[in-house]
Structure 1
């Protein structure tokens, strides 16, 4: 997009999974892996890779996007 690389996640997550509250970040967790996974370490690493690659992050189940017609760039 004009605003950079947009990534739509293909797994169930919300924005908080990519931007956890300070209490979680204080436990050295930059992201919160989703609750369904085979390998939590791999899930964490994939989420970190997505977070670092994206200029615009669009979590698949983010409720904030339900009430807008167009997601801003």
Structure 2
């Protein structure tokens, strides 16, 4: 279990905002899983983790399923 301050939680939630609503739960789970790997959590670590995880979730290649885009191409 991880514990965040209000400010740290606001940082995570602000990073989730640009994602599509259906992507946010997985984003939050991924951030929590990565943060749980570290014995100490602070603003610097949170900033780095949310940037890395957000980049993964905003990557257009994640929109492709089985070699076909969401548009059927």
TM-score, normalised with respect to structure 1: 0.34
Q: Which structure shows the bigger proportion of residues in helix conformation?
A: 2
Structure number with greater Rg is: 2
